[in-house]
Amino acid sequence: MKHLLIPAFALLLLIGCSAPKSDNTFTINGTVNGSTDGELVIASFHNSIDSVVNDTVEIRDGHFIFTGEVAPYGGLAYITYGEESEPYKGDNQTGLYFSPGVTEIAFEKGM
């Protein structure tokens, strides 16, 4: 019985010392009124000082979704949409600050 107590206490000590994991995941739910299915949405996420992530999704039924990880204090995203989308170019672009959790955004095509 003594031989089982020492490993059990060691295991409890390790479990108690482990730091809880923070959830730095984000979701950007977007709507583009007047869009056509298949149009591209390009996002460049600045999720820390030195980290940029580029991602592309298609619009389906007027909606798009980006997910990923962001620094605990948040990040900056540049979102461009349309048939001729290029990152950081065009009239159909916006920048937004986002943080862990869910962010909702809506566009009016051509505005």
Residue 107's alpha-carbon distances to 41, 49, 57, 62, 81, in angstroms, are 11, 27, 15, 10, 9
What's the Cα-to-Cα distance from 15 to each of 10, 19, 21, 41, 50, rounded to whole Å?
9, 9, 13, 43, 33
Q: What are 8-27's pLDDT values in tens digits?
A: 555 444 455 544 455 888 99
pTM over 0.85: no
Which pLDDT tens digit goes with each residue over 32-65? 888 888 888 888 887 666 678 888 889 899 899 9
